[in-house]
Structure 1
């Protein structure tokens, strides 16, 4: 599935007023973004929300980034995926997560065995009456074992909160074939103090999560970088801020490191749907 070189990642495309979502999706499609990514948000009707976006757009791909394998049954996802692909022309990419959601596993009465459970979930998708093809699913993989599994059994990986250096290391693990589509938080703000404040307001929750903290430490950040909302070094490393050229430079750095696609998440916006910021970034669409 060709998802282009850049996309938009948006919580608002799941949580805003349905009419506003449809209007925004249609405009983003017209801008030329390769994919619109929506998060799993811990559950909910991810297929219904994907269908809203598919119905409002004509050519852009819709990607789930990502659903929990412990909250969504594989049989239901495979059947829904097949129905939407038939209706809307194979434009839906399923993103899967099994590493970061230990609470969901325990809530479902399951032991927390992310690697083996992800492998088993992929088996279920393969055995479904209408299987989800490997090329129409990706994984949110950060650790090397999950990255290698994604490279073997899916289109590739969709890593969260990573630097271009991480993209280079992930490309080395994956080899030349699989998709590498990192998430990139962005703040379209030129003032350093305001940009970093917005970035810290977003990052705080994730810095307190053990799996993201471990990932950042593996990327070369220190415990001191993770303290007090994140050092300037950490903030600048995982959030791109500034004008469109500065944000575009970060996108190019990921591409030069081996990424095929970079999806941009506008954080710190004042509006419920950040259309003004998306319009400002439209020069990066493709």
Structure 2
């Protein structure tokens, strides 16, 4: 599988009820971000992926992620079919959200259905939210690559070893542009505290050296290990560590310190520092 040409710096975008995310998408494209990833947990339908692609010009738009236990493969096939007719090559189908006793088997079955659809969703146009070694191997063998979240630069290096040289690795990185340690950590403590108890995250955190006590907190140690916080230079250094460890792209999951704020200022500052 040939690596996707994603560019080094992507960014996530949440869907807003007032439709303001469409203007935000156009702004992010103008700022020079390489890829926009739509936050999948907020998707009541898959329509926002179509809407963001049509609100922008050329930037690739990915799903981060479409949960396979929520959306049937037919929904994914129909979305890609519609967009390939009008905006070919711009949708990156990020898939995940398979939990339960046999997630690897269930994801394989889901990918089988995408392979045999008419038209198919090709392996080179999809990425998997992979953490464990077998899911990373599946990302290498049956997708363009992996889209992990809540990982360290050391994990990035491990993932690159598993994926090899040809697969794509886009690492999602929480970012808080705030130098006060307490405020920076408190900004993400609730959201990360929920995620670290879901699916394969606890097991992967243990593989990365975090303890059950770290996960239960979540502890400052865990937050410092998973989140790029601080001033622009500190965030840039963290991004560089992921890229040096083998990431093709670092996807910025920017969290403003003010609840419910849209991080326009942070997006601009990060673009100026990381993109130029």
Q: How far has the Cα of 1:82 moved from its partner?
A: 2.0
Say whether the 8 Å CA contact 2:183–2:257 is kept in structure 1. Answer: no
SS in 2 for 1:27: helix
Say whether the 8 Å CA contact 1:4–1:261 is kept in structure 2. Answer: yes
Between the aligned partners of 2:247 and 2:221, the Cα distance in structure 1 is: 22
- Name the residue aligned to 2:78: 79
- Name the residue aligned to 1:200: 189
Distance 1:117 1:207, change over 3 A: closer
- Pairs within 5 Å for 1:155-174: 155-174=144-163
After superposition, the CA RMSD in angstroms is 1.7
Q: Calculate the TM-score normalised by the size of structure 1.
A: 0.89
- Pairs within 5 Å for 1:178-189: 178-189=167-178
SS in 2 for 1:70: coil
What are the ranges of 5 or more consecutive residues in structure 1 without an aligned counterpart? 103-111
Structure 1 residues 275-284 or 251-260, which shifts more? 275-284
Between the aligned partners of 1:251 and 1:186, the Cα distance in structure 2 is: 10
Within the candidate set 116, 127, 151, 2:140 is matched to 151
In the alignment, structure 1 residue 15 sits paired with structure 2 residue 16: yes
Between the aligned partners of 1:196 and 1:236, the Cα distance in structure 2 is: 8
SS in 2 for 1:262: strand
Distance 1:70 1:201, change over 3 A: closer
In the alignment, structure 1 residue 5 sits paired with structure 2 residue 14: no
Between the aligned partners of 2:95 and 2:216, the Cα distance in structure 1 is: 30
Say whether the 8 Å CA contact 1:5–1:261 is kept in structure 2. Answer: yes
In the alignment, structure 1 residue 91 sits paired with structure 2 residue 94: no
Q: How far has the Cα of 1:43 moved from its partner?
A: 5.2
Between the aligned partners of 1:209 and 1:124, the Cα distance in structure 2 is: 26
- Name the residue aligned to 1:264: 252
Structure 1 residues 72-81 or 34-43, which shifts more? 34-43
- Name the residue aligned to 2:131: 142
In the alignment, structure 1 residue 49 sits paired with structure 2 residue 48: yes
Q: How far has the Cα of 1:223 moved from its partner?
A: 2.0
Between the aligned partners of 2:168 and 2:256, the Cα distance in structure 1 is: 29
Q: How far has the Cα of 1:21 moved from its partner?
A: 1.1
- Name the residue aligned to 2:271: 282
- Name the residue aligned to 2:239: 251
Say whether the 8 Å CA contact 1:68–1:98 is kept in structure 2. Answer: yes
What are the ranges of 5 or more consecutive residues in structure 2 without an aligned counterpart? none
Q: Which string of whole-angstrom CA distances, capped at 9 and with x for unpartnered residues, describes residues 133-178 of structure 1?
A: 1111000011111110110010000011000000001111111110
In the alignment, structure 1 residue 121 sits paired with structure 2 residue 137: no
Distance 1:29 1:260, change over 3 A: same
Between the aligned partners of 1:44 and 1:85, the Cα distance in structure 2 is: 22
SS in 2 for 1:15: coil
Q: How far has the Cα of 1:72 moved from its partner?
A: 1.2
Q: How far has the Cα of 1:229 moved from its partner?
A: 2.6
Between the aligned partners of 2:214 and 2:137, the Cα distance in structure 1 is: 28
